[in-house]
Structure 1
Amino acid sequence: MTPTTTADTTVAPTSSRGEVRLSITDVDAFYGRIQALRGVSLDVCRGEIVTLLGSNGAGKSTTLKTISGLVRTSRGDIQLEGQSIKRLAAHQIARRGVVHVPEGRRILRGLSVRENLELGAFTVRDGALRGRRLAEVYALFPILHERRHQDASLLSGGQQQMLAMGRALMHGPSVMLLDEPSMGLAPKLVTEIMRIIRRLNEAGTTILLVEQNARLALRLAHYAYVIENGAIRLQGEAARLREDASVVKAYLGLAE
């Protein structure tokens, strides 16, 4: 989708769903000679939770990595609020407010919970702002405040996921890319993590969610895309897709 410009001001494009905050258009990506993404296009509108669903190896994580600059696109464009970011380095994309919470948490061993959180604010020079964000993260995740001096590697899986999300929040994201936040967690913790994701969205964070639990993701999201063999095969309102048993079975491999 091509932005319009007036004078020197870029105007973000819109869709029937609202103002497009993040747009991916005809993106190809490769790992060496292996093509991982094939003409992927999707929009994430302001205030939405958009979920990207598909089987293992379909291209979900690669899509997030391509957005965040960890994998380079060989064709197509990625725009944030109407401006291309596809040639920016990963740290530059993060500075623009697109923050990636990768699969597997990536907690830094040997550092305390607080030190891990503070690393999330590496681009924030205002000490007072860092302090306010730290207080907000502790309010959202009280267990992190309780264990702030503990080695982060000693946290449980659920607590490490909270830490990974808290570290992303320290950056003050406008768009959060969440990759498999429920992976390896007990059902009770999965419910808690999803409640927090909804709360973050209600507070104004736009979210692109990759999630292995398709039913849960479709209950949480506003809009959904299904990717298969590196290409988008289906899209629509999450509530509509959730209620279509044939779609769920055919594209997500789930029976009623």
Structure 2
Amino acid sequence: MARKLEGKIAVITGGSAGIGLGAAKHFVEEGAQVFITGRRQSELDKAVAEIGRNVTAIQADAAKLDDIDRIYEVVKAKAGRIDILFANAGFYEFGTFGEITEEHFDKTFNTNVRGLLFTVQKVLPLLSRGSSVILTGSIASIKGYPSFSVYDATKAAIRSFARGWIVDLKGRDIRINVLSPGHTETPGLSVLADETVRNAMKANVPLGRMGTPEDLAKAAVFLASDDSSYITGIELFVDGGVAQF
């Protein structure tokens, strides 16, 4: 059976762990040449070893514009074009309303909104016709969570970007969609929530389990491939139904 991403060039920001790493594995399995980015070289090295083939790691902070430029310089030199961009790099931490600091606001918006905007804008000259851009959103784009209002707002902004950009890029044959995870077992969630909290989260999911990076990766392959060739501007929830009530 033909692989869905055969010969495609893909860039995944925040690709060294969690959802990004899961997507990188599946993209490679489906035939893509993948470039992953991340801030920590040690984590990138582990990811490359885990993926095993057809992957190049680029140490970069997706919140820094100079780093974004360097990512695309490397990809242009090695591959010449980009067919798939998965803008997945993100940041979250608690920030209780009434106690929110400038540092918390700036750090969250600089990575999740400012960094994502320039990650996509700067890739435009390299995107091939028929290319796919996937933005990592969240169920937080439509739901409110305690002490998470700044993060929630960044994900609502990402959803809005997709709506605006598909109009701005009309005629370019570039698709832009948002992939919004629900409660997903990632290293980041383990740091944020202990086992008791995670069990409570799982009990609230209609499908009765937490999501996995593989669940999100399968959906990312769909949005990256020609299977979704007439789909653009959507927010695809991969959440076990938790955002729908």
TM-score for both structures, normalised by structure 1: 0.34
Larger strand proportion of the pair = 1
Larger helix proportion of the pair = 2
TM-score for both structures, normalised by structure 2: 0.35
The structure showing larger relative contact order (alpha-carbon pairs under 8 Å, at least 6 residues apart) is: 1
Mark the structure with the bigger radius of gyration. Answer: 1
